[in-house]
Structure 1
Amino acid sequence: MIHEQNIKTYICEELAPDVDPAALPTDVDLLTTGVTDSLSLVRLIAWIGEEYDIPIADMEIAPEDFSSVEKVNAFIERHTVSGVA
């Protein structure tokens, strides 16, 4: 998907530095596996808003939208023009 590598890089560099981006499956549940916690989920959501110019504060969001790299990618594609930001 378009943004998956960028998402994986952010997660592994900023939220889970002990995880290698190449070893992070796009479908793994980031919350239940402990890759992210509630605080890092907030940081991830804030980064998505800034990185992709998505008005997060104006939206209703659910943690499920950010539970895997695939779901984060789908969220970005739904909320950006043509899925490209």
Structure 2
Amino acid sequence: MSNLPQEIHAYVVGEFLDGEDPADLTPEFDLIESGIVDSLGLVRMVSHLAGAYAIPIDDIPLKPEHFRSIGAIAAFVETATRAAA
């Protein structure tokens, strides 16, 4: 999953930025604090991760720290996919 951060970045840009400049969207950029991902966005993100990376949806805890940044999401997905294997 070497392209995982780039895949997640592309998903966030496509689904949440709606034409805005993604220049500030670094791996550490706080998606929740900035308001890019809200509670509905979190549900959309969980659904996407479950489908795209074959993570059972029941195994995805809705903890903000897992979704705070692209880096955090990538780390969570890597851990969850290893655990599911």
Paired amino acid for 1:47: H
**1:16 maps to which residue?**
17
Counterpart Cα distance in 1 of 2:35 and 2:59: 28
**2:75 maps to which residue?**
74
Counterpart Cα distance in 1 of 2:32 and 2:57: 20
Q: How far did residue 69 of structure 1 move?
A: 0.2
Q: Which runs of 5+ in 1 are unaligned?
A: none
Map Cα deviations across residues 49-85 of structure 1 (whole Å, 9 max, x no partner).
Answer: 1000000224433121011000000001101149xxx
Preserved contact between residue 50 and residue 56 of structure 2 (Cα < 8 Å): yes
**1:35 maps to which residue?**
36
Q: 1:14 is paired with a residue of what secondary structure?
A: helix
Counterpart Cα distance in 1 of 2:79 and 2:59: 15
Map Cα deviations across residues 2-28 of structure 1 (whole Å, 9 max, x no partner).
Answer: 201110111111122233445411101
Question: Which runs of 4 or more aligned residues in structure 1 lie more than 6 Å from their structure 2 counterparts after TM superposition?
Answer: none
Q: How far did residue 45 of structure 1 move?
A: 1.1
Give the number of equivalent residue pairs: 82
Seen in structure 2, the aligned counterparts of structure 1 residues 20 and 7 have a Cα distance that, compared at 3 Å, is: farther
Q: 1:80 is paired with a residue of what secondary structure?
A: helix
